[in-house]
Amino acid sequence: MSKNPTTTTGPDAPPAQLAFSGLHHLKVPVSDLDASMAWYQKALQATVLGDLDHRDPEGNLFARMIQIPGIEVLLELRLAPKAAAATDGYDPITLQVDDQAHLRRWTHHLDAANVRHSPELRSMIGFLLVVPDPDGLMIRIHTKPAAQPELDSAGADHDSPWTTPPIMRRD
């Protein structure tokens, strides 16, 4: 008698559906935990969650968890100098704001906080700022795209060193 794979039960049965319930946290390597923590607080108005500090068995602090306003997912700042150096110019995080007016409020905040950032740039589906952290990790702040965005490759700032730094070039 042959088994019908659609009715297999037990430990070898395929799951009906694999899915995740969310994103737990993101991890950013840093070369100086204190300096990066201070920068994320100043630049992105992050809150440090001290009760979630990561310490090794000897009690040495090696990571801090932070919360960025409006973002449910926590960000772990992980002391990892070699990894931080390797990500200089990489842009893995894009935060979203509602519109261009909100983006300009971020520009004013960053200017007032004396935080280096790009000028307002044009993407294929909106506008963005690029803000490098102390290790050169590029964090993007992007406007929310329209419900059905039309890609505008010709109008985007592809050649800007802010949007396509050397590490992100395909050549």
Report yes or no on 92 lying in a domain. Answer: yes
* Beta carbons of 109 and 154 less than 8 angstroms apart: no
In angstroms, the CA 67 to CA 74 distance is 5
Tell me the pTM. Answer: 0.84
Query: Which CATH number belongs to the domain containing residue 79 in this structure?
Result: 3.10.180.10
Coil vs helix vs strand at 34: helix
Q: Is there a single domain that holds both residue 92 and residue 166?
A: yes
User: For the chain, what is the domain count?
Assistant: 2
Q: What is the DSSP string of 84-121?
A: HHHTTT---EEEEESSHHHHHHHHHHHHHTT---PPPE
Report yes or no on 58 lying in a domain. Answer: yes
Could you list the residue range(s) of the whole structural domain that residue 92 is in? 87-171
Q: Is there a single domain that holds both residue 93 and residue 171?
A: yes
Q: What is the pLDDT along the chain (171 residues), one digit of tens a residue?
A: 545 555 556 667 666 688 888 899 999 999 999 999 999 999 999 999 999 999 999 999 999 999 999 999 999 999 999 999 999 999 999 999 999 999 999 999 999 999 999 999 999 999 999 999 999 999 999 999 877 778 888 888 888 889 888 888 777
DSSP annotation of 9 reads -
* Beta carbons of 118 and 129 less than 8 angstroms apart: yes
